[in-house]
């Protein structure tokens, strides 16, 4: 019996590809130079798509595959998948939540610690021989006892909140609505929350409502002693205004794992000393990426067998 055809929209890990090849015949859209021509030439009857959070799945792809039934996306964020088009064509969409909560939360806390204690700067200070020639590194800040405002108290946000409490931080949050039975104070307005906190951390999904949520008003409210951390999506922060505020001392610093036009990071941002910058590695550990990949495959296999999907989003 022949294996069903699957369109591979994003280059996934060798582990995932190896598992997919056991059950599907893969058509590597991700490797095609002329993607429009590739879509026209794929076999009829493709029911399955595997993709990644950044590559997503466009309306063009969805409408080029009239028999498509499911899009399984690697990553918790699925904003690059045209969910409206998927719903119009009765296509299911899945993602890979929960398995990356701890990993992303660890990176968020690491970014906060690195920025507060200026660890990358201190490392360069030592390596450049300045400890010997200039003496002790300047004094820095700390997290203990500070107030943390979280934009987006979802699964990962709650995990970050618990870790922050271990540092005796006071946690408050903003989201679409107040969540019952949460021990943290809720703010309906991100600007008001930013005014009241020392740290502002962004871990909300990218939606039309959240894009640009950290704007000039919010950053000005955060103020010259405030620090920003973004481990969500780059488009939740007005990057141009952020660079301006960092350069002028409008806020004290920023720690970023995500950017507006990845993998491009503005030179003006890279030149600043009051930032810690990572190349979108929030979930990038062997254990977590393996678990995410396994969930991509589990969703596809479940649909193939007619079983309930483990992690549907649409």
- Could you give the residue numbers annotated as active site? 233, 262, 280
Q: List own/partner pairs for 59-68 with CB under 8 A and 24 or more apart.
A: 59/85, 60/36, 61/7, 61/9, 61/29, 62/86, 62/89, 62/91, 63/89, 64/39, 64/40, 65/7, 65/39
Per-residue CA distances from 17 to 10, 69, 221, 282 (Å): 11, 20, 47, 22
The answer to whether 172 and 143 have CB atoms below 8 angstroms apart is: no
**Helix axis angle, 155-166 to 101-116, nearest 10°:** 50
The answer to whether 189 and 215 have CB atoms below 8 angstroms apart is: no
CA-wise closest residue to 100 among 281, 255, 236, 257:
281
Burial state string for 180-193 with b = 16 or more CB within 10 A and e = fewer than 16: eeeebeebeebbeb
Q: Kindly state the tokens that stand for 293.
A: 């990949």
| CB burial of residue 280 (10 Å; 0-12, 13-18, 19+) | middle
Q: Kindly state the tokens that stand for 274.
A: 């009051």
| CB burial of residue 312 (10 Å; 0-12, 13-18, 19+) | middle
């Amino acid at each position: 019996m022949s294996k069903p055809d699957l369109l591979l929209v994003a280059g996934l890990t060798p582990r995932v590809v190896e598992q997919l090849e056991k059950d599907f015949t893969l058509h590597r859209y991700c490797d095609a130079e002329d993607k429009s021509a590739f879509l026209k030439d794929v076999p009829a009857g493709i029911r399955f798509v595997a993709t990644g959070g950044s590559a997503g799945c466009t309306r063009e792809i969805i409408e080029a595959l009239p028999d498509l039934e499911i899009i399984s996306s690697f990553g918790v964020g699925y904003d690059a998948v045209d969910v409206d088009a998927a719903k119009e064509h009765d296509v299911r969409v899945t993602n890979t939540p929960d398995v990356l909560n701890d990993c992303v939360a660890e990176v968020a806390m690491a970014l906060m610690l690195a920025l507060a204690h200026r660890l990358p700067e201190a490392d360069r200070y030592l390596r450049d021989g300045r400890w010997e020639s200039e003496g002790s590194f300047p004094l820095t800040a700390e997290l203990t006892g500070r107030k943390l405002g979280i934009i987006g108290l979802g699964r990962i946000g709650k995990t970050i909140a618990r870790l922050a409490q271990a540092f005796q931080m006071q946690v408050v949050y903003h989201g679409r609505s107040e969540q019952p039975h949460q021990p943290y104070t809720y703010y309906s307005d991100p600007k008001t929350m930013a005014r009241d906190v020392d740290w502002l951390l962004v871990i909300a999904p990218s939606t039309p409502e959240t894009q640009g949520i950290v704007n000039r008003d919010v950053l000005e409210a955060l103020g010259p002693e405030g620090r920003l951390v973004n481990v969500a999506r780059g488009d939740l922060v007005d990057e141009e205004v952020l660079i301006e505020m960092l350069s002028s001392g409008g806020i004290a610093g920023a720690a970023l794992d995500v950017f507006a036009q990845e993998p491009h990071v503005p030179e003006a941002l890279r030149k600043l000393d009051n930032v810690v910058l990572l190349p979108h590695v929030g979930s990038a550990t062997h254990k977590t990426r393996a678990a995410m990949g396994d969930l991509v495959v589990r969703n596809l296999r479940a649909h193939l067998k007619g079983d309930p999907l483990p992690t549907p989003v649409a």
